[in-house]
Amino acid sequence: MQNTWRSRTQKRQQDISGNTPIAWKGPTSDALETFLNAGASEAFKRPWHRLERGLRLNRIHLFAEEEKTRLGLSPVESGDLYTLLVKSLDDKLLNSKSNVIYDHETMRILEIKGLVMHRNAEGRLLFQIPKAKVNGKSNSITFRKPRTATATTTTTTTE
């Protein structure tokens, strides 16, 4: 019986040139972290419509957490709010600075225009952001479940 380990490639402790690897002696993790935090805080000081998607998602997450504490939302409700806000951002409903009131000095979202909250009969909060009017159709807000169309038969006669 042959040993199969002999046919495997062995890791080298040295590179091809024969030099031993040198440990990286860069800045400590604390210095690196402060450098990255300083860059991030400068990025958040831009107006809302100038923020990149990842930075907007971060601010939306903070807004959802603030609303959770302010309104006393359950974890399910706060998750629904965050999901709605992310989907609205993907649908480009939150791209303009007129839809999102963002204070770039405090780096917080103060208000999202069009965000509607409604408590249903069970006591659960529902959230909605209406989309813009399309082809003259109204954008009425309803929290009802859509009705299923009843089967109606119409008879047509041709003469």
Task: Return the HEC string of 30-61.
Answer: HHHHHHHHHHHHHHCCCCHHHCCHHHHHHHHH
Kindly report the number of other CB atoms within 10 A of residue 88's CB atom: 22
The alpha carbon of residue 132 and the mean position of all alpha carbons in its chain are separated, in whole angstroms, by 21
Closest CA to 54 of 45, 43, 68, 65: 43
Please state the φ and ψ torsions of residue 137, each to the nearest 5 degrees: -80, 145
pTM over 0.95: no
Residue 103, pLDDT score: 92
Residue 37, pLDDT score: 76
* Cβ atoms 43, 51 nearer than 8 A: yes
Residue found by looking up tokens 């989309």 in the block: 131
- Given its phi and psi angles, is residue 72 left (phi above 0), alpha (psi -120 to 50 degrees) or beta? left
Residue 40, pLDDT score: 72
Residue 70, pLDDT score: 94
How do the domains of the chain map onto residue ranges?
38-128
Q: Which residues pair with 117 in a beta bridge?
A: 127
Strands 116-119, 125-128: pairing kind? antiparallel
Kindly report the number of other CB atoms within 10 A of residue 67's CB atom: 22
Q: Per-residue confidence of the chain (159 residues) as pLDDT tens digits? A: 556 656 666 665 555 666 666 665 655 677 877 887 777 778 888 999 899 999 999 999 999 999 999 999 999 999 999 999 999 999 999 988 889 999 988 999 999 998 999 988 888 889 999 886 666 565 556 666 667 766 555 555 555
